[in-house]
Structure 1
Amino acid sequence: MMLEDQMRDALDDLALRVPPRAGLADTVLREARRRRAKVRLATAGSTVVAVAAGTMFVVADPLATDGPDLDTVGPAAGEPAEDQGQDAPAGPITVDVDQLPAGPAPSVPWYADGVLHSGDVEVPLEGDFSGFRALSEVAGGFVVLFVESGVDNTDGNQLALISRDGQRTVLDDGAVYDVAVSGDGTMIAWAVHDWATHGPGDGPGRTLLRVADARTGDVVYEREQTGAEGSVGVAKGFLPDGRIVLDKATNAPGGIFLWDPAADTVTPWTDYGFTNTVAPGGELAVLTPPNEAADTAPGVVDTLTGELLWTVSPDHYVGTQAFSSDGRHLAVIAAPGLPGAEEFEDAERIGAGVDGELDVPRSVVVLDARSGEPVLTVADTGPGNITWESDGSLVFEVWDEASATHSLVRCSLDGRCELAAATGQVVWGGTP
């Protein structure tokens, strides 16, 4: 069996247990072929971020301290900048990483070469794990969802609370697929799925929902879901009133649910299929219709009113860290021509004649979260993870395929950018 066939089989098995969409395996493989490096498979697939020498992994941070003042930073070319306030640039900007001025390290958590960083904090983080599913700063330090090495990553995950002095408190082991953090960073929500029995839609027959105090790791709420509700429980975010948004642990999602821990109830919320992301304050969410819908483009929804505010373009990728800290902006990866690229590769796979070359540029696009109006475009960066600092600055990975290096770049909404973490050589154990 070819390596790609083995990957597809493994990913299709994973797709039955997580809520993205049908055909997840082929989609991730397409993305991997486009980017031709494992770091791209990890960040664009939004499933597992692989950890290897040189890996940089940037994550959301509800407790980030104020970031650096970009008034002192020159523009993308490194030239002194005029005082432009926060006015957005008239058109797309480009970034030449080699010419960017150096700025402070990100004030959000990021991981590189065995060390967890956040501002001036550095915590050694070694262990027998092959990647991350999630990493956020919380009141008690950092909550990390590891993928354990040598274990089927559909079941071999570990959720842990890491203190700022490096002490690890294991919160759960097993089939944990996501973790949600309250807006103030004091509560952590997750679910662990039991696949010994199966429920409807090939989902698990039993799920335990849990909420823990992020300062101590102590579980303060727990609920068991069984039978027809056994697959409900992938925690995606907190709403302002403390209820928790839940997806189903199946690749045939049938609605989104709300868990009220204090009332011990789980109720249907919306007919959307699954959740892309929830704003840190919980007032907005990006939701995707179910697989069988005629239009599966994600929508930005006001969680208080249920109103659909606008629909995301089909060639825009919305990650879990897309919302700014204040919920005012949404950062996406834009890939114009992405549907055409998929058709190109489908034709190539079956041996049909195709003309031209596959070339799908990637850009970072910042949009007004409530209107969808564009605010900033950083063109053709080939971005990976995207996240926000609390002062409204954007931090994202930039991958240089020619030199096999990647960097962390910070941009303000007026288009001024700087290097937030120096470039590093990516060393992978296999062939990209």
Structure 2
Amino acid sequence: MRSRAFLVGLGLQSPTTAPRDIDLSNVPLPPPRHSLVELLQPCAPLIALTRPYGESEVTEESNELTEAPASLSPSQYTLGDGRAWGVKVRPKGVAWVVDTSPWVRPKHRIRRRTISDCLDNDRPSIMAAIMDAGSVTTCHKPQHVISPEEVRQRKVLDLRRWYCISRPQYRRSCGLSSVVSCWNFLYSTLGAGSLPAITQEQGLAILGFQPPYDNIRFGPFTGNTTLLRWFRQIGDYFNVRGSSYLLYKPHGRNRTPGETAESARGKLSAGLRDDSYAFVYHCENHYFCPIGYEETPYHAVSAYRGLRHSEESEFWMLIGDPSQKNPAIHCKRWTDVVRDLSCENPFFLDIRHTERGLQRRQCGQQMRTKRKGGNLHCIMAFRRLPSSPCLPLNLSAGNVQAFQKDTERRKRSSRGKMGTKRQGLSSWTRSGEP
């Protein structure tokens, strides 16, 4: 209804006539409110920038502003070539030419010359250079090739020591497990001995502990001298000879005066090459056993050369761990080990986590040494001594009784406390120290 009223208002339809199709072709369109030039006036700076660099504002094709005709139809708002009325348009065919060859990779790679091509082209000169003995420089000739014996001196790992590591351990029984590992290597057929190997349970039973072993708190009563005493008691039980002592302990009680890091390193390396020695390393809240080492040269050219001095290499110690929560074998620098042993309370270095650096015990933590400046960390050595010669068959009854009494006396003394407190070692343990 509104459209009909609109048509009636325009005079195109009478109010009484019926609706019919109406021809609107003769209806004039209203004039535009704004001209195209006025609409494009804000874009004039952008259109002017489309000219190439160095082109003049007036070109041959458009040198003046075009004017719109008086009667403008809707189809005549733009020129036939797309130009708008009153707007300067860039000429046709103007474009920038950019050389992109430096940034475009070739489709086909350039074929490189092979060895056969070089030999085919320059065979006489190359063969002459190869045959000439003077053309080979001396830097490619090894001055000295290391021998297998020298390699054995630099890289030592006795697999029997690793076989004897008692792993896994009981809860907090790293000290006893380390002693059992050393004893098995020295005296059992699993290592370098002739006796049957013993287990942790047998060692605990010999020392008087009762199961369940997981409930035993070894920490409060386990120390360096405790491990030395346990080794002696197990040796007395099987009637074998041996010795145990502190190899290197620079600080704290029972320290080793006069022992330096270099001398301790030499004794440790010599002992690891000898199957009559075993070692235990006491680190931060843990005990484990060194089983080998490697001397790594500082320079790459010395990889297959013999080392004249120990200063030319870095000493790495291989340590077997009885705890199942840690790697089976640790590889630590000797400098870090010395740094750990040289720390004084309350500072300490956890050799199993050297990435943490030097740490300090807080007041709330358990202080393992009452006085400042002490350190319980050390390296202990255990040695197998030659067995006593066999008794003669015509031994008298009195001598046999004396020998039995002496054996019983030594067994009773092994169950008690250590008699001699010097250096924290007993007379039995000091007798075999070199």
Give the number of the structure whose residues are more often strand, by fraction. Answer: 1
Rg: which structure is higher? Answer: 2
Quick check: which one's helix share is greater?
2
Identify the TM-score tier after normalising by the shorter chain.
under 0.3
User: Taking structure 2 as the reference length, what is the TM-score of the superposition?
Assistant: 0.21
